[in-house]
Amino acid sequence: MCCQEVRSEEVCAQMCSEMRSKVRSKMCPQVRAQELTGVSRNWRSPPAKGAAQVASLRLLGIYDGLARRGEHLLGQLLGGELPRQWRHYPEDDAIDQGSGFQWFYHSHSPEDRPGAAEHGHIHLFARRKLWSRRLRSAHEIEFASLADDPNRQVSTRHLITIGLDAKGIPISLFTVNSWVTGDLMLSASNTALLLEQMTLATGNEDVDAVIECVVRLFQNEIWDLLVRRDALLYEKQSPGLLRDESLEVLSELAINVDEKLACGGAWQQQDFPLS
Ligand SMILES: [Zn+2]
């Protein structure tokens, strides 16, 4: 199921002809992460339209390249084998030692998430060197009070989850409770700041690029998910909250990549809840 060929038409279905010709002529896979991250901006303000367009073109280029080669986004990761539920892909996670970001892909059992449309999802993390100093801030100390043992030694903090369909196309974004990933979280604002600076070079080029592009393109939506996550946690504040297995997904959003790309990655001008 996971090895079906990706058709670029399905990604581009809604894309206007002008954008399509732009993609063909500019060839996106060569657009590097530095071009995205070189556009400096504040997470809490609407991102530059140019950065969003770069991410749009790059994302289209990835799937266009996969389609031309007859490959699936996760093909190399799965090593030509059928995916197994719960197994991490790659086995020891994809780690960028330089940037400090880390991810893995896996599928839960259907019974675990009844009604879910996804094939599996990517859990994205930040390693200790990215956040250890941030823990001293008053804001982060307050957020840490949600945990029974805020000083527990963990090597990662979970940032966001990206759900993929069987064709390897992102279809959802969600946040999860800490027992799910076995580590801890950071507050919404610090999570957002880390995501803003995220680059990935784990050796899984296409997946790295898709994660980067999705985080850029759906930045507003991710911010909303993080704020909703924190609001829920503060509302429910109680002993054992982060180990409460009745609380798994804390905030969730279905996303439509076609629609986002059809807008050329245009950002909605909106105010953000944090000043
Ligand atoms: Zn998972």
Q: What is the pLDDT of residues 35-79, one digit of tens each?
A: 323 333 445 555 567 888 899 999 999 999 999 999 999 999 999
- Whether residue 46 contacts residue 268, with contact meaning beta carbons closer than 8 Å, is answered with yes
Question: Structural domain of residue 69, as residue ranges?
Answer: 8-262
pLDDT > 70? residue 4: no
Is 3 contained in some domain? no
Distance in Å, CA 173 to ligand 1 centroid:
12
Is 83 contained in some domain? yes
Is 180 contained in some domain? yes
Distance in Å, CA 123 to ligand 1 centroid:
6
Counting the structural domains of the chain, the total is 1
Q: What is the pLDDT of residues 184-204, one digit of tens each?
A: 999 999 999 999 999 999 999
Q: What value does the mean pLDDT of the chain take?
A: 81
Is 268 contained in some domain? no
Q: What is the pLDDT of residues 157-182, one digit of tens each?
A: 999 999 999 999 999 999 999 999 99
Is 54 contained in some domain? yes
Distance in Å, CA 107 to ligand 1 centroid:
7
Query: What does pTM read for this prediction?
Result: 0.80
Backbone φ, ψ for residue 27 (5° rounding): 50, 105
Measured distance CA(20)–CA(15) in Å, rounded: 7
The percent of residues in the chain predicted with pLDDT above 90, rounded, is 66
Average pLDDT over residues 119-133: 96
Q: For residue 135, what pLDDT is reported?
A: 92
Q: Would you list the DSSP string of 77-109? A: HHTTSPP-TT--EEEEEEEETTTTEEEEEE---
Distance in Å, CA 5 to ligand 1 centroid:
24
Is 214 contained in some domain? yes
Distance in Å, CA 49 to ligand 1 centroid:
32
Is 270 contained in some domain? no
